[in-house]
A = this chain, B = another copy of it.
Amino acid sequence: MPLAEHRTDTHDDTLLYLEIQHFYGRQMRHLDSGAVEEWARTFTEDGVFTANAHPEPQRGRAAIEAGARKAAAQLAADGVQRRHWLGMLQVDPGPDGSVVARTYALITSTAQGGQAGIQLSCTCDDVLVREDGQLKVRHRRVFRDDLATGRGE
């Protein structure tokens, strides 16, 4: 395929794009399966999770784990399987040698014996860094589409 030539992306950038996809595949499985310690370890120790649905950010791995643990307990009590799909990834250079990874996020929800459906549509903007060879989220910003419009992005 001639189109494979003359690309402007570097080889390393291209492989990083793919590595981020794989990172998200593992990360969101941790969350959706209630593996909250593994989930928290996908953030840096001082990682921050902000969401336009939350009055306050979760600051630090312990807070991120506690938040996920509470949500997982509620879902288990309700018999609901939630799944986070991240897609339409866009990767750009970030500050301090980090990378900004932006995705669309679709959250589905299925009750035992019930009908699967879309729960939320969001965007997810991450600042990713590498620690000991592993990607980590240093900052995540989740923006629910239903809570505001017209933010120009």
User: Contact residues of A with B, CB < 8 Å?
Assistant: 1-19, 21-22, 24-26, 28-29, 33-34, 76, 79-81, 83-91, 93, 97-99, 102, 104, 106, 108, 110-121, 128-130, 133-135, 145-150, 152-153
Residues of B within 8 A of A153 (CB): 29, 33
Docked CA distance A150–B152 (Å): 38
19 pairs, A vs B, C-beta closer than 8 Å:
A17-B22, A22-B91, A29-B88, A29-B90, A29-B102, A33-B152, A33-B153, A76-B149, A76-B150, A83-B121, A85-B87, A85-B88, A85-B104, A85-B106, A106-B116, A112-B149, A113-B147, A114-B146, A116-B120
Give, as a whole number of angstroms, the nearest-CB distance from A150 to chain B: 6
Q: Copy number of this protein in the oligomer?
A: 3
Give, as a whole number of angstroms, the nearest-CB distance from A107 to chain B: 8
Q: Which of B15, B24, B87, B146 contacts A4 (CB 8 A)?
A: B15
Docked CA distance A92–B5 (Å): 15
Give, as a whole number of angstroms, the nearest-CB distance from A96 to chain B: 9
Docked CA distance A21–B112 (Å): 29
Question: A3 to B128, Cβ gap below 8 A?
Answer: yes
Residues of B within 8 A of A15 (CB): 4, 7, 11, 14
Question: B112 to A83, Cβ gap below 8 A?
Answer: no
Residues of B within 8 A of A84 (CB): 88
Question: B88 to A24, Cβ gap below 8 A?
Answer: yes
Question: B25 to A13, Cβ gap below 8 A?
Answer: no
